[in-house]
Structure 1
Amino acid sequence: MREALEFAVVWTLVKLLGALPRPVARRAGAAVGAAAWRILPRLRRVGIRNLELAFPQMPAAEREQVLRRLYRNLGWLLAEFCRMPRYTRENTSGFLCCEGLDHYLSARDRGKGVLIVTGHLGAWELSSFYHSLMGYPMSMVIRRLDNPRVDALVNSIRCRHGNRVLHKDDFARGLLAAMRQGETVGILMDTNMTPPQGVFVPFFDHMACTASGLARVALKTGAAVLPGFMLWEESGQKYVLRFGPEIPLVSTGDSESDIVENTARFTSAIEQAIRTYPDQWLWVHRRWKTRPEGEKPVY
C-alpha cells in the first residue's frame, strides 16, 4: 500500500510539473523547495553544520542564504526532471549548453573508456540527460531507490535517449565491461562511504570517506578520468554542462597508495567546483558521517 501511494505521488508530480510551461514549473519547484526548507529542520541542521565545516570563516547569515538558495535550486531541478520527457535538443537550446566538449571527445577517442567524475552539484540529473541529447549516451552509477516502481519510473526518464543505469550493488563488473568497450560512465562520488569500499581523503580540509572504485577501475583499465558538472549560470540564465581537462592518474606501482592519491585528486576536482558554486551542492547530505578511527562524530 505504501509503495503504491509513493508511486502515485511521484507519477502525479511528474505529470503535473511536466505539463506546465517551464517558467511556471520552475516557480512551482522553487515553492516546493521553500516548503522543504521550513518543514525539514533536521536536514536544515545538517546543511548548516556542513557549511560550518567547509566554510568556518563564512558569517552565519551567509551560510543560511547559501542553504536557502540550495533549496531553490533543488526545486528547480525537480521541475526540470519532471519536464525531461518533453525535452529535445532543439527545444532546450535556449537554456542548456556545453563547454569543454573537446576535453570529453579527446578522452573518448582514446578508446579506453571515459569515467566522468561528478557529484550532487548543480543539475546532476539534467547533466547525463543532456549528454544523451547531444548524441553521447552514457551509463550512470546509481543506487536503487527503495520503491521499485518509482525506481523504474525515474530510470525510464533518465534513459529516454540511450543512457543506461549501472546499479551500485553490482556496478564493478558492469563498469569494467563498459571501459573495455570504450564507453562513458558518470559516477557521483561525493557521498559518504564506509571502509573498505571507501578511503579517507581530504574534502574541505576534513577527512572524508570516499568511494575508491573509480580510482581502482581507472588504474586497471587505463580509462580517461575527467570532471563534468551541469551548473546554473545566473548571468546567462542557463545550465552549462562543463567538462574539465583530464585528471592525470598517479601510478607508482603501490596500488593502495595510488588508489588513495587518485581518489584525493578526483575529490579535489569536486571541491573546486563546489567552492565556485557553493549554493548548488547538496549540503544536506551527511558527507562527513564516517570518521577515521578514534575521531568524534561531527553530527
Structure 2
Amino acid sequence: MFAFSIRKLMIKKTFSYIGIFFLNFLSFLPMRLLHVFASLSYYFIYYIFQYRKKVVHDNLSNSFPDKTPAEIVQLKKTFFKYFADMLFEVIKLQSISDVELLKRVKFNNLELVTNYLDKQESILACTGHYGNWELGMLALGVKIPAKAYVIYKPLSNDVFDDWFYKIRTRTNNLFIPMRQTLRSLATSRNQTTMFCFAGDQTPVKDEAKVWIDFLNQPTPVLLGLEKIALQTDRPVIYFNMQWVKRGYYEVDCYLICEKPSSTEAHEITKRNFQMLEQIINKNPAYWLWSHRRWKHKPENNAD
C-alpha cells in the first residue's frame, strides 16, 4: 500500500513537471497569440468541460435578481471569455519583461501609496479577485519602493505552487501563506512594508462568524485585515483594478481608512466590501464568479 502511494505521488509529480514545461514554453509566445489560444480555450471551458458553469450561473442569478435570464447568460459568457484570457495572461507572467508589464498595467494615483512609504510609514492594502489581480500585483512590485507582503493560500499541488510562487515573487513581492501572517508582521515590524489582502475569500465553515449583505446575499467575511489594521493602526488602501481592453488594465487607489483605531467594529470590513460591490455592479463580468463564495449559509452555522 505504501509503495502504491509513493508510485502514485511520483506519477502525479511527473505530470506536473510536464505541465510546467509546457506552460513555460507557452509563456514565451507573444500575448496576442496567447489571446488567440484563450479564445479557442473558451469554447472548451464553456461548452465541453463546462467548468463550474452552474456555480457561475447561480452566483450571477442570486447577485443580480433584477436581470433577465438572457442577461444572466450573456454575463456568464462574457465572464468565461475573460476567464480564459486571464488564464493565458497569467501564463505569460513567467517571461514578461518589466517594460511590457508596466505597459499593460497603468497606476493612476499611486502617490497615495508612495507618499506613506516615502515617509517610512507602513500600510495595509486590500483588493478583490477582480480583473487580473496576479498581473496587477506583479506590476505593483516594480512600482513601489517597499516590500509588499501578499497574503495567499498555497495551492494543493506542491510542484505547481512552487512554480507559481517563483513567478509571483519575480518583482519586489513576498508571498506569505495565510497562517504565517502574524509571524511575518512581527519579523518585519521595523521595516517599511505593505501587507496586501484579497478580502473576498470565503472563510472556512468554523470561521464564518460575521455576516454582511453583499451582492444581495448574506455573506460570511474574513476579519484578518481589520484585526491587523486595529492592531497596527496602519492606513488601509484599496486597489481597484479595471479592465481597459484585452490585456490592458488601469489601477486606481482609494483610501479606505487612515486611522483604523477610530473606526467602529467591522467598519473597515464593510467599507472594503462596499467598495468591491460598487466595482462589481459597474462592470460585473470581471469578478471571479467561478469561486464558491456563498457555499456557507447563515442557517447552517450554529453562531
> Shorter-chain TM-score: what band?
0.7 to 0.9
8 A Cα contact 2:124 2:234, kept in partner:
yes
Q: Cα–Cα, structure 1 residues 9 and 203, in superposed 2: closer, same or farther, change >3 Å?
A: farther
Q: Which residue is 1:184 aligned to? A: 194
8 A Cα contact 1:30 1:74, kept in partner:
no
Stretches of structure 1 lacking an aligned partner (at least 5 in a row): none
Q: Which residue is 2:174 aligned to? A: 164
Q: Which moved further from structure 2: 241-250 or 65-74?
A: 241-250
8 A Cα contact 1:140 1:164, kept in partner:
yes
1:108 aligns to 2:114 (yes or no): no
Q: Cα–Cα, structure 1 residues 37 and 294, in superposed 2: closer, same or farther, change >3 Å?
A: same
Structure-2 separation of matches of 1:10 and 1:231:
30
> What TM-score do you get using the length of structure 1 for normalisation?
0.87
Identity of aligned residues (%): 22
Q: Which residue is 2:160 aligned to? A: 150
Q: Which residue is 2:235 aligned to? A: 224
Q: Which residue type is aligned with residue 56 of structure 2?
A: G
Q: Which moved further from structure 2: 37-46 or 145-154?
A: 37-46
Structure-1 separation of matches of 2:114 and 2:158:
35
Q: Deviation digits for residues 142-189 of structure 1, max 9, x if unmatched?
A: 111111111110000000113111101322322454465331122111
Q: Cα–Cα, structure 1 residues 247 and 38, in superposed 2: closer, same or farther, change >3 Å?
A: farther
Q: Which of the numbers 231, 251, 254 marks the counterpart of 1:244?
A: 254
Shift of 1:93: 4.3
8 A Cα contact 2:114 2:144, kept in partner:
no
**Superposed, which structure 2 residues align to 1:1-299 within 5 Å?**
1-41=10-50, 43-109=52-118, 111-136=120-145, 137-178=147-188, 181-193=191-203, 194-196=205-207, 199-234=210-245, 238-247=248-257, 251=261, 258-293=264-299
Q: Cα–Cα, structure 1 residues 97 and 192, in superposed 2: closer, same or farther, change >3 Å?
A: same
Structure-1 separation of matches of 2:39 and 2:97:
23
Q: Which moved further from structure 2: 49-58 or 169-178?
A: 169-178
Q: Which residue type is aligned with residue 216 of structure 2?
A: D
Q: Deviation digits for residues 193-224 of structure 1, max 9, x if unmatched?
A: 13436521221132211110100000110111
Number of matched residues? 290
Q: Which residue type is aligned with residue 46 of structure 2?
A: W
8 A Cα contact 2:17 2:159, kept in partner:
no
Larger radius of gyration: 2
Q: Which moved further from structure 2: 142-151 or 37-46?
A: 37-46
CA RMSD of aligned residues (A): 2.4
Q: Cα–Cα, structure 1 residues 39 and 223, in superposed 2: closer, same or farther, change >3 Å?
A: farther
